[in-house]
């Protein structure tokens, strides 16, 4: 009995999804075009093509897709593109193992992942796909490098850098987490190397200021603010006794200057060697410096590490008192923050206090609390200056400026702002990245490759050994070239760029993906930018998200762009959890999107991810949970296709009109403003339940209209089923090209409301009131209501609070 005369009670997910996927791909309904209507740029962070989507990708692309589909239905010109962050080490490491060239494996991975995205029903405009490892993209990455170079924002510098021994390359500061490589977790060591940097510190204040103008989660803004680490203070210069030199320190507490009893240099400070030359302390200091240099960064910068130091034998002169104070070298001073030197003020700094106690240096108090009592040491608060020459008696806050001014007048210091953030180290000693477009000439130095010679393409004939320097260095016929300026023999730069450079501007390339003569056109970028909603993970809070803001500001300054912030709003989604923990292969709790999509289909998978938690919270996958979403979709399907009776019950019609209006309003707000997709889904469930209750009591025309509303509201969330229902309802165009429903606000106004009757705040009864009732009328009815009688009898009514449409609270004396 396979014969089916009635509508089936379930739909075949695979058949439905295949049918519409094929049609959508043929018709390309998601092409973004500049149009005479408001634009909406919805972007999700593009993936590294590892070979397979993971559940985190499924979540982030679902969230973005809902937003994109919603705004399309609202009539916006929507840009919703996708691409590939395709340079990076995994492909190169795979090449070392397997011999398959990175380009080959990467492009194959892209093909597979693209097919997975198509299966998920994601509404990307594939005509705008960008792939950062292809020359038609990275030639512009190189062009942007040259722009930075011309503007003095890209420069080479020698110095100690972070080196990941496992990745065989250097890392930027942002890419070292607790002393370990962000990618592979190896302990990072130091190397002295000449490397390329982007001068992001020049934009520190603008990066801070911009945060006040964008709609990002507090959490992410706080992380960036802290990373930038702006700190207002002063420099103070201490002349060295018997030497022509001076030591410059940075302090945030110039008010405590009179309490400085010693000066400390970082072990790596360039002055150390000059200070000790010829002194009896020299050998001991050198030995100390050598020892400290070997200590790893994690240990070196841990707060709990014991403070160790050594006296250099040299003395400095206090700039205001002229006192002789000893110069030390100590492990707790960092060479790359401030000036790499500090003044030791033991009474008013925790670290200096510990140090001075250990080495028996004097600890004079120069700030006392307002109350005048003796402070417990170290006293790091503000107060009034004591023992501070002519500044004695001054409040410490005011003394900061006064002392800095005095120093400036004497030529011994000035006000100064320091930042924690360092310049961005972008060189990588790896093959699979965009080559830095520079030629090194022995006559002219580093010379920019002229624009018309871009791209500097990666050579194919290289060996991947994973050893030593960039594999590019071994490609002799590639490395050896001529100087673009003088024509003499020269060598190409063999380092490639950090892949974060590629991803710092991809959102602009989407505006002009086929432009062959510039990275993007200003006219197109100005139409689409800024990104209205950017969806991605929190792990990029100070990496990609900071770098992209920096790029946008530089391009704005160069006149290439009108905006100076790339991402107006940021939706930062939580992790996908399974079995109580973040998924990982090592924990054996990973879920494969392939299996899940095959079992439940894209719609149920999407719907469950949206329903089970708000976007920014972690989301736990559960088998029973996705079953619930699957059941709901089947229930909706049955509601639409099953044979239904009809009727003309005026009460039912009114109730259905009301819930229809309420649902449209709720789903509109939840998708559009609140991004509360979980409550949007629950509203649709309630609507569906209500339709089940009494849709048969109204006319066929009203039924059609109620169900059409359901299909359109469901379209952003479950695009395949919505399309199927839309066609079941007799339409021939796509539901995704239809219009978001509107509602008559009159239906939101209830003409009868049940309110709570409280006595002393406790609910004791209920009362149905008419919308037109006055407060007096409500109060009168409430007071005579029989349910309150036992509670009012024998008590004096002190007060009656009437909240229209909510409750009446009668306050009685005990």
Q: Looking only at residues 163 through 192 of this chain, which bind RNA when binding is defined by CB under 7 A? A: 177-178
Q: What is the dihedral of CA 597, 602, 605, 609, to 10 degrees?
A: 130
CA distance 108 to 586: 25
Question: Which of 568, 589, 622, 705 is close enough to bind RNA by CB under 7 A?
Answer: 622
Question: Which of 366, 436, 438, 541 is close enough to bind RNA by CB under 7 A?
Answer: 541
Alpha-carbon separation of residue 653 from 647, 691, 694, 705, 813 (angstroms): 10, 11, 9, 12, 46
Question: Which of 50/223 has CB closer to RNA?
Answer: 223
Strands (E) located in 483-537: 489-492, 496-497, 533-537
Question: Which of 116, 237, 301, 738 is close enough to bind RNA by CB under 7 A?
Answer: 301
Q: Between 561 and 580, how does the x/- string for binding to RNA read (CB under 7 A)?
A: --------------------
The interface with RNA within residues 425-484 (CB under 7 A) comprises: none
Burial of 481 (0-12, 13-18, 19+ CB in 10 A): middle
Among 79-87, 402-410, 465-473, 609-617, which window interacts with RNA (CB under 7 A)?
609-617
Report in angstroms how near the CB of residue 262 gets to RNA at its nearest.
12
Report in angstroms how near the CB of residue 98 gets to RNA at its nearest.
32
Question: Which of 475, 570, 755, 782 is close enough to bind RNA by CB under 7 A?
Answer: 755
Among 95-103, 382-390, 615-623, 777-785, which window interacts with RNA (CB under 7 A)?
615-623
CA distance 754 to 775: 14
CA distance 68 to 345: 57
Strands (E) located in 493-562: 496-497, 533-537
Question: Which of 214, 386, 402, 685 is close enough to bind RNA by CB under 7 A?
Answer: 685
Which is it for the CA torsion 241, 246, 252, 254, positive or negative? Answer: positive
Among 188-196, 363-371, 495-503, 669-677, which window interacts with RNA (CB under 7 A)?
669-677
Per 3-state DSSP, what percentage of the chain is helix, strand, and coil (rounded to 5)? 40, 20, 40
CA atoms within 13 A on the CB side of 487: 0
Our measurement of the distance from residue 48's CA atom to the centroid of its chain's CA atoms, rounded to an integer in Å, reads 16
Two structure tokens written together for 683 = 């509203």
Report in angstroms how near the CB of residue 731 gets to RNA at its nearest.
25
Q: Using CB under 7 A, count the residues that bind RNA.
A: 90
CA distance 112 to 53: 9
Among 17-25, 237-245, 312-320, 630-638, which window interacts with RNA (CB under 7 A)?
630-638
Question: Which of 514/796 has CB closer to RNA?
Answer: 796
The interface with RNA within residues 632-661 (CB under 7 A) comprises: 632, 634-635, 638
Question: Which of 266/434 has CB closer to RNA?
Answer: 266
Question: Which of 602/802 has CB closer to RNA?
Answer: 802
Q: Sort strands 576-578 and 752-759 into parallel, antiparallel or unpaired.
A: unpaired
Residue 310 has a CB neighbour count (10 Å cut-off) of: 20
Q: Between 17 and 56, how does the x/- string for binding to RNA read (CB under 7 A)?
A: ----------------------------------------
Q: Is 611 in the site for RNA (CB under 7 A)?
A: yes
Among 122-130, 381-389, 445-453, 798-806, which window interacts with RNA (CB under 7 A)?
798-806
Two structure tokens written together for 799 = 């007060």
Residue 39 in contact with residue 563, Cβ under 8 Å? no
CB environment 681-705: b (16+ within 10 A), e (fewer): bebbbebbebbeeebebbeeebbeb
Q: Is 6 in the site for RNA (CB under 7 A)?
A: no
Q: Is 758 in the site for RNA (CB under 7 A)?
A: yes
Question: Which of 624, 732, 745, 752 is close enough to bind RNA by CB under 7 A?
Answer: 624
Question: Which of 375, 628, 647, 672 is close enough to bind RNA by CB under 7 A?
Answer: 628
Q: Is 748 in the site for RNA (CB under 7 A)?
A: no
Which is it for the CA torsion 271, 275, 277, 281, positive or negative? Answer: negative
Among 319-327, 480-488, 652-660, 749-757, which window interacts with RNA (CB under 7 A)?
749-757
Question: Which of 218, 373, 752, 786 is close enough to bind RNA by CB under 7 A?
Answer: 218
CA distance 715 to 738: 10
Q: Is 692 in the site for RNA (CB under 7 A)?
A: yes
Question: Which of 186, 189, 231, 568 is close enough to bind RNA by CB under 7 A?
Answer: 231
Report in angstroms how near the CB of residue 669 gets to RNA at its nearest.
6
Among 93-101, 217-225, 490-498, 723-731, which window interacts with RNA (CB under 7 A)?
217-225
- Mind giving me the DSSP string for 362-425? -----EE-TT-PPPPSS--S--EE-S-GGGTTSBHHHHHHHHHHHHHHHTSEEEEEE-S---EE
Residue whose C-alpha is closest to residue 57's, from 68, 66, 46, 67? 46
CA distance 788 to 799: 15
CA distance 733 to 684: 23
Question: Which of 109, 162, 261, 418 is close enough to bind RNA by CB under 7 A?
Answer: 418
Q: Is 237 in the site for RNA (CB under 7 A)?
A: no
Report in angstroms how near the CB of residue 685 gets to RNA at its nearest.
4
The interface with RNA within residues 302-361 (CB under 7 A) comprises: 302-303, 305-307, 331-334, 337-338, 340, 342, 349, 351
Q: Between 52 and 91, how does the x/- string for binding to RNA read (CB under 7 A)?
A: ----------------------------------------
Question: Which of 508/659 has CB closer to RNA?
Answer: 659
The interface with RNA within residues 241-280 (CB under 7 A) comprises: 250-253, 266
Q: Is 612 in the site for RNA (CB under 7 A)?
A: yes
Q: Is 112 in the site for RNA (CB under 7 A)?
A: no
Q: Is 589 in the site for RNA (CB under 7 A)?
A: no
Between CA 227 and CA 234, with CA 228 as vertex, the angle to 5 degrees is: 125
Residue 59 in contact with residue 21, Cβ under 8 Å? no
């Amino acid at each position: 009995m396979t014969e089916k005369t009635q509508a089936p009670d379930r739909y075949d997910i695979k058949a439905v999804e295949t049918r519409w996927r094929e049609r959508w791909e043929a018709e390309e309904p998601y092409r973004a075009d500049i149009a005479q209507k408001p634009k909406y740029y919805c972007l999700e962070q593009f993936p590294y093509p590892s070979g397979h989507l993971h559940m985190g990708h499924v979540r982030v692309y679902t969230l973005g897709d809902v937003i994109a589909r919603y705004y399309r239905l609202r009539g916006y010109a929507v840009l919703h593109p996708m691409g590939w962050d395709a340079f990076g080490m995994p492909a190169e490491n795979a090449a070392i193992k397997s011999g398959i060239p990175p380009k080959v494996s990467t492009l194959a991975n892209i093909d597979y992942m693209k097919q997975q995205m198509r299966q998920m029903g994601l509404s990307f405009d594939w005509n705008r796909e960008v792939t950062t490892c292809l020359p038609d993209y990275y030639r512009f990455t190189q062009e942007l490098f040259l722009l930075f170079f011309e503007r003095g924002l890209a420069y080479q510098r020698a110095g100690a850098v972070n080196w990941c021994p496992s990745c065989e390359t250097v890392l930027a500061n942002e890419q070292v987490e607790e002393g370990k490589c962000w990618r592979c977790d190896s302990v990072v060591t130091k190397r002295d190397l000449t490397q390329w940097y982007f001068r992001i510190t020049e934009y520190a204040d603008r990066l801070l200021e911009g945060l006040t103008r964008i709609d990002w989660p507090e959490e992410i803004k706080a992380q960036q603010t802290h990373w930038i680490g702006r700190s207002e203070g002063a420099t103070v210069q201490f002349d060295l006794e018997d030497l022509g030199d001076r030591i410059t320190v940075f302090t945030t507490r110039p008010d405590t200057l009179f309490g400085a009893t010693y000066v400390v240099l970082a072990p790596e400070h360039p002055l150390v060697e000059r200070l000790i030359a010829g002194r009896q302390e020299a050998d001991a200091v050198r030995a100390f410096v050598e020892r400290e240099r070997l200590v790893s960064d994690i240990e070196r910068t841990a707060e709990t590490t014991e403070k160790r130091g050594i006296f250099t034998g040299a003395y400095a002169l206090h700039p205001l008192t002229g006192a002789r104070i000893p110069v030390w070298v100590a492990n707790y001073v960092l060479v790359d923050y401030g000036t790499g030197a500090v003044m030791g003020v033991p009474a008013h700094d925790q670290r200096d206090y510990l140090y001075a106690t250990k080495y028996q240096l004097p600890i004079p108090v120069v700030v006392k609390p307002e109350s005048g009592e003796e402070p417990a040491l170290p006293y790091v608060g503000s107060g009034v200056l004591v023992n501070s020459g002519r500044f004695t008696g001054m409040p410490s806050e005011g003394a900061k400026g006064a002392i800095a001014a005095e120093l400036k007048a004497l030529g011994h210091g000035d006000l100064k702002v320091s930042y924690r953030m360092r310049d961005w180290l972008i060189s990588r000693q790896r093959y699979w990245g965009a080559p830095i477009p520079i030629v090194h000439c022995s006559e002219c130095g580093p010379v920019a490759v002229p624009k018309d010679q871009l791209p500097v393409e990666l050579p194919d004939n290289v060996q991947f050994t994973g050893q030593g320097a960039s594999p590019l260095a071994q490609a002799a016929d590639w490395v050896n070239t001529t100087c673009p300026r003088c024509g003499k023999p020269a060598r190409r730069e063999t380092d490639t760029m950090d892949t974060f450079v590629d991803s710092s501007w991809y959102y602009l390339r989407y505006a002009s993906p086929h432009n062959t003569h510039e990275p993007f056109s200003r006219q197109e970028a100005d139409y689409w930018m800024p990104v209205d909603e950017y969806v991605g993970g929190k792990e990029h809070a100070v990496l990609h998200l900071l770098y992209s803001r920096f790029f946008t500001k530089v391009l704005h300054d160069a006149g290439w762009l009108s905006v100076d912030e790339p991402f107006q709003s940021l939706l930062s989604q939580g992790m996908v959890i399974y079995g109580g923990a973040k998924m990982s292969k090592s924990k054996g709790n990973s879920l494969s999107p392939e299996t899940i999509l095959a079992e439940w289909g894209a719609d149920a998978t999407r719907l469950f991810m949206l329903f089970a938690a708000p976007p920014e919270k972690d989301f736990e996958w559960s088998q029973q949970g996705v079953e619930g979403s699957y059941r709901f979709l089947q229930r909706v399907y049955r509601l639409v296709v099953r044979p239904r009776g009809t009727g003309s019950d005026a009460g039912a019609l009114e109730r259905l009109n009301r819930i229809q209006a309420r649902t449209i309003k709720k789903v509109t707000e939840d998708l559009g403003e609140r991004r509360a997709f979980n409550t949007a889904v629950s509203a649709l469930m309630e609507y569906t339940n209500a339709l089940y209750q009494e849709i048969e009591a109204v006319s066929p025309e009203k039924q059609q209209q109620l169900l059409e509303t359901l299909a359109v509201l469901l379209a952003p969330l479950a695009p395949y089923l919505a399309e199927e229902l839309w066609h079941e309802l007799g339409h021939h165009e796509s539901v995704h090209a239809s219009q978001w429903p509107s509602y008559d606000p009159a239906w939101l106004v209830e003409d009868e409301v049940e309110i709570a009757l409280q006595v002393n705040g406790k609910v004791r009864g209920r009362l149905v009131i008419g919308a037109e009732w006055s407060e007096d009328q409500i109060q009168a009815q409430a007071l005579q209501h029989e349910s309150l009688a036992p509670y009012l009898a024998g008590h004096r009514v002190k007060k009656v609070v009437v909240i229209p449409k909510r409750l009446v609270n009668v306050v009685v004396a005990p």
